[in-house]
Amino acid sequence: MSTTDFIDVEQFLFGKGFKFSDTANSGRPSFSPVYEILFKQRNGQLTTAQTNSQIDALRNVDLRGQFDKYLYKQSFNQQYAINLRGGNNNMSYLFSAGYDKNSSELDAGYSRFNLRLQNIYQPIKNLQFSTGVYYTQSKSSSGRPAYGSITTSNGNLPPYTLLADDNGNALPVTRGFRKSYTDTAGGGKLLNWDYYPLEDYKHTIATTTTNDIILNLGINYAVSKSFSVDLKYQYEKQQVALENLNDVQSYFTRNLINQYSQLNRATGVVTYKIPVGGILDISRNTLSSHNARGQLNFNKQWQKHAVTAIAGAEIRESNTISNAYRTYGYDPDILTSSSVDFANTYPSFVTGSNSFIPNNSGFSNTLNRFVSVYSNAAYTYAQKYTLSLSGRRDASNLFGVNTNEKWNPLWSVGGGWLLSKESFYKVSALPYLKLRVTYGVSGNVDQSKSAVTTITYSSNSPYTLSPYAIISRNANPELKWEKVKLMNFGLDFRTKNERVSGSIEYYVKNARDLFGPSPIDITTGISSGIITKNVATMKGNGIDIELNTLNTNGIVKWQSNINFTWYKDQITDYYNPSLQGSSFISGTVPNSLGTVGKPVYSIFSYQWAGLDPATGDPMGYINGKVSKNYASIIADSTQLKDLVYVGSVMPTIFGSIGNTISFKNVSLTVRLMYKFGYFFRNASIDYTNLFNTRVGHPDYANRWQKPGDELHTNVPSMVYPSISARDAFYDNSEVLVEKGDNIRIQYITLAYDIPKTSNKNLPFRNIQLYANINNVGIIWKANKKGIDPDYPLSSVLPARNIAIGLKATF
């Protein structure tokens, strides 16, 4: 939405007395600069001419452009790595080290250093020990504020906000309170209350430091030629330290100190309940995990028979202990801090309401355990016929579930036929052809399943000084396992000289007792209004094709890699008791699990009856009759059957096409991605959000303004007071659903290789120079509104990355 349109809306709202009550609000919420100018005019401090010229000066300001100019920069990533390998017959090693240093487009830093050392030692013929040590240290730090990340007490920053003056000096922007209040409230006794977006991030620095060490040990003992035992153990310890320092010059800290300042108006003495100094939040998480696995391997071939089998068990535990605390009055230079009173409430300087000083201490201790037993076996006869069986059972320490219910079973059976090995096979153009078929069954336990109601302890109540708890999970004993059956047919092939190779898979999936959110009457006490239930059965089928082709193999070598997926599923039975339309649009189960015969993830919309030619009001239907009773349409009078089914939310055809063309030492790779057969809901103007939180939309310019406009626009007229149900109806109506089909270039890579053969004196075997562009962009889309369907709601698209690199092999 343009700045000038936004200003017009603000002038309109001012004329309606919108939010004037905030002038009497003890929270002193801020107003926008245009409102402040208009208040001055209203109080006689500005003439109409002055007012207009001040406001018009703002009409050309572009906040987005200022973010680009002052806060966004080119991101820069550096990556270095070295690998060394060596050894002899009974000992080998691998050593590698790497260092990354990145800075994002918002100057957020990330650095990583890692070391890896792996050894394999074979003391006697049948025994092999392997050890590995991995060490990683990484550090990330916060950068500058992103566009849209700064909000005020009245919503987003207005689009005409100025971040800097003409000379580039940082300007304060109104954020929490009115400037006229913050400038005078303390009579000069309080800390400065201004917020400077271009300065503040320098005083709010969050860092995350991670130290991670992984040790592993493996023993492989070959009992005989065909039978071996593997034992593996891995230990990991990871320490993550998060530090968030808001120094005394940061807005966050100044604001908090001011709010808890007690000013004696008579003496002019300020008592600081929060000391003047930085605020440091620290949290430390320590993860330790153990992972042990024992496996038997069997591998034997005799005459025309071949058997491979494994059986094993795995046990895993990870324990994370965290603690967090806050220090007030922190001085990072001399490392001093102060204590504060957490036990008593103090009146807020602004509102006079009493509150405790935020404490921010917390502890947590989580433990995840996982046990698994598994086995696979395959028998091949004459290298042609293969029969395979596999099964596994997994369990974890789900809370509030009986042990025998914690085990997830999974098994499958399969067969393979290498047709090209048959004596009758004579197709010389296809020297390799294999057919496969697999049938598998799996079951899932919902993580939220609990046989009993469980509670979670929070912290101590400051009133009763005893711990208090919330009900975290409701007993849900009726929940059954979700069962999925999958049948898979596959075909692998290779042509002569491997000009074309690839595979084709076709699969059929049947699932019953699918988990899904189910609306429940809140009278039952379930506050979310949702419980997980077994709501549906579905069937789906799909085709995956992968093709690798060598198109030309001369001086110019052209290779293609094509992936293609077609997938279709549908609900075959639906047993959710509630079919209230709104639940399928924006309530509890949006875009999912709806009508029998429709895809599992579908977009439903309100039926659209056009704009009212007299008023520009959007119109829908109730019981087949045109209606403007929005509250009723979006609440109780629309059932699932009344909604318009538009299509699948998930692409039904998708894949990628990669082409590499090489000429001598130069190669160029372009990879396209495509998605077809799906829909997305587009955003549009929502007047309630526009008025209350300053969230605009370019569609505002296309709104209905006079009779006749309904012939070329679907954007409703602006009404005051705004009606949130009217906005919700329009936002979820069928006119805002767009086809998502698109093709984009994912990356382009240009590489140049200098092999040693070209110059025997070079100290390396091969050296490669490459340049890579990521997120190149969309090249075709079905919708005519210029929206990238992958990012329909974001105003900032992911940045295009360009990387230049050098790779040397010695």
Partner 1 sequence: MLGSKKINIVSSLLLVTLAVMMSSCSKYLDAAPNKSYVIPSTLKDFQALLDNYNNLNNVDMSVGEISADNYYLNYADWAALSDEGQRRMYTWEKDYFFQFNAGDWRRPYAAVYYANTVLDNIDDVDRNAANAMQWDNVLGQALFVRAKTYWQLAAAFTKAYNPLTAPTDMGIPLRTNSDFNIVAVRSSLAETYNTIIADLKTSAALLPVTPVHVMRPCKTAAYALLARTYLNMGNYDSSLRYADLCLQLKSNLLDYNTLSASATYPIQQFNAEVIYESSMSVPAPLSNSRAKIDSVLYQSFASNDLRKTIFFKDNGNGSVGFKGSYEGGATLFSGISVNEVYLMRAESYARKNDKTNALNDLNTLLIKRYKTGLFVPVTAIDANDALDKILVERRKELLMRGLRWPDLKRLNFEGRNIAIKRVLNQVTYTLTPNDLRYALPIPEDVIRLSNIQQNPR
Report 188-227 residues binding partner 1 (CB under 8 A): 223-227
- Smallest gap from residue 611 Cβ to partner 1 (A): 20
Closest CA to 7 of 42, 69, 47, 54: 54
Decide whether 79 or 524 has the Cβ nearer to partner 1.
Answer: 524
Q: Looking up tokens 């300042």, which residue turns up?
A: 261
- Smallest gap from residue 383 Cβ to partner 1 (A): 24
Report 310-349 residues binding partner 1 (CB under 8 A): 313, 315, 345, 347
Decide whether 52 or 397 has the Cβ nearer to partner 1.
Answer: 397
Phi, psi of 31 (to 5 degrees): -115, 165
Decide whether 345 or 553 has the Cβ nearer to partner 1.
Answer: 345
Report 398-457 residues binding partner 1 (CB under 8 A): 398-400, 403, 406, 452-457
**Upper half-sphere CA count for residue 332 (Cβ side, 13 Å):** 14
Which of 47-55, 382-390, 394-402, 653-661 is the region at the interface with partner 1 (rule: CB under 8 A)?
A: 394-402
Q: Quote the DSSP letter at residue 596.
A: B
Report 709-738 residues binding partner 1 (CB under 8 A): 720-725
Q: Which of 692, 713, 746, 775 binds partner 1 (CB under 8 A)?
A: 692
Q: Which of 48, 167, 428, 527 binds partner 1 (CB under 8 A)?
A: 527
Pairing of strands 432-444, 766-781: unpaired
Q: Is 636 in the site for partner 1 (CB under 8 A)?
A: yes
- Smallest gap from residue 282 Cβ to partner 1 (A): 20
Sign of the dihedral defined by the CA atoms of residues 616, 620, 625, 628, in that order = negative
Decide whether 223 or 797 has the Cβ nearer to partner 1.
Answer: 223
- Smallest gap from residue 577 Cβ to partner 1 (A): 8
How far apart CA 150 and CA 254 sit, in angstroms, is 17
Which of 168-176, 365-373, 783-791, 794-802 is the region at the interface with partner 1 (rule: CB under 8 A)?
A: 365-373
Report 141-170 residues binding partner 1 (CB under 8 A): none
Three-state SS letters, 650-705? CCCEEEEEEEEEEECCEEEEEEEEEEECCEEECCCCCHHHHHHHCCCCHHHHHCCC
Retrieve residue 452's tokens: 């009993």
Report 577-606 residues binding partner 1 (CB under 8 A): 578, 580, 582, 587
Q: Is 688 in the site for partner 1 (CB under 8 A)?
A: yes
Phi, psi of 313 (to 5 degrees): -140, 150
Beta-bridged to residue 230, according to DSSP, are 220, 295
- Smallest gap from residue 111 Cβ to partner 1 (A): 32
Helix 3-15, helix 33-42: angle, nearest 10: 40
- Smallest gap from residue 218 Cβ to partner 1 (A): 16
Decide whether 108 or 373 has the Cβ nearer to partner 1.
Answer: 373
Burial of 230 (0-12, 13-18, 19+ CB in 10 A): middle
Q: Is 523 in the site for partner 1 (CB under 8 A)?
A: yes
- Smallest gap from residue 454 Cβ to partner 1 (A): 6
Helices (H), 385-509: none
Q: Is 17 in the site for partner 1 (CB under 8 A)?
A: yes
Q: Count residues binding partner 1 (CB under 8 A).
A: 92
Burial of 138 (0-12, 13-18, 19+ CB in 10 A): middle
SS3 180: helix
Lay out the site mask for partner 1 across 342-361 (x = CB under 8 A, - = otherwise): ---x-x---xxxx-------
How far apart CA 440 and CA 662 sit, in angstroms, is 42
Region label for 92, one of left (φ > 0), alpha (ψ between -120 and 50) or beta (otherwise): beta
- Smallest gap from residue 16 Cβ to partner 1 (A): 6
Q: Is 377 in the site for partner 1 (CB under 8 A)?
A: no
Decide whether 316 or 756 has the Cβ nearer to partner 1.
Answer: 316
Rg of the chain in Å (alpha carbons)? 33
- Smallest gap from residue 196 Cβ to partner 1 (A): 28
How far apart CA 87 and CA 93 sit, in angstroms, is 6
Retrieve residue 9's tokens: 């809306």
Q: Is 24 in the site for partner 1 (CB under 8 A)?
A: yes
Report 473-502 residues binding partner 1 (CB under 8 A): 474-475, 478
Report 278-297 residues binding partner 1 (CB under 8 A): 294, 296
Q: Which of 367, 596, 626, 771 binds partner 1 (CB under 8 A)?
A: 367
